[in-house]
């Protein structure tokens, strides 16, 4: 984790605090050291994925959201998967974000995919 601004220490401390609260990466409750090491190692890609979403995929009105807000409004959403003939339909609650906003996120993710060979 490298801070590249003049107020680097404060920024890094904010990132650490965000990881502690959003991902609870200080919660290492396993009895074996190696189990806790694996658990901590899994928190790193989760944190990086959250930052990836926030920086590259989210629309401007959501780009300043904290990882806690992203978790609550994007990941922990009630949804139902319904099958009709040859289609799968994902029905999500629109309480957290609107359909249009979710569509923008999906289209931005599609733009990041590499072109087929």
Q: In this structure, is the dihedral angle defined by the CA atoms of residues 36, 1, 16 and 96, taken in order, positive or negative?
A: negative
The residue ranges of every structural domain in the chain are: 8-112
Please tell me the predicted confidence (pLDDT) of residue 47.
84
Whole-prediction pTM value? 0.61
d(CA 58, CA 26) in angstroms, rounded, equals: 27
1: pLDDT strictly greater than 60: no
Considering only residues 41 and 117, tell me which one the structure prediction assigns the higher pLDDT: 41
**Burial class of residue 54 in the structure, from the number of CB atoms within 10 Å of its CB (0-12 exposed, 13-18 middle, 19+ buried):** middle
pLDDT tens-digit series, residues 37-84: 888 888 888 888 888 888 888 888 887 888 888 888 877 778 889 998
């Amino acid at each position: 984790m490298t801070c590249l601004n003049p107020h680097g220490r404060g920024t890094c401390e904010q990132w650490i605090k965000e990881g502690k609260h959003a991902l609870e990466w200080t919660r290492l409750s396993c009895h074996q050291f190696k189990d806790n090491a694996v658990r901590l190692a899994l928190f790193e890609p989760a944190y990086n994925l959250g930052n990836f979403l926030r920086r590259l995929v989210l629309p401007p009105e959501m780009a300043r959201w904290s990882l806690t807000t992203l978790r609550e409004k994007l990941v922990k959403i009630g949804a139902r998967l319904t099958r009709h003939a040859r289609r799968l339909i994902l029905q999500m609650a629109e309480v957290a974000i609107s359909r249009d906003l979710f569509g923008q996120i999906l289209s931005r993710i599609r733009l990041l995919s590499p072109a087929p060979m």
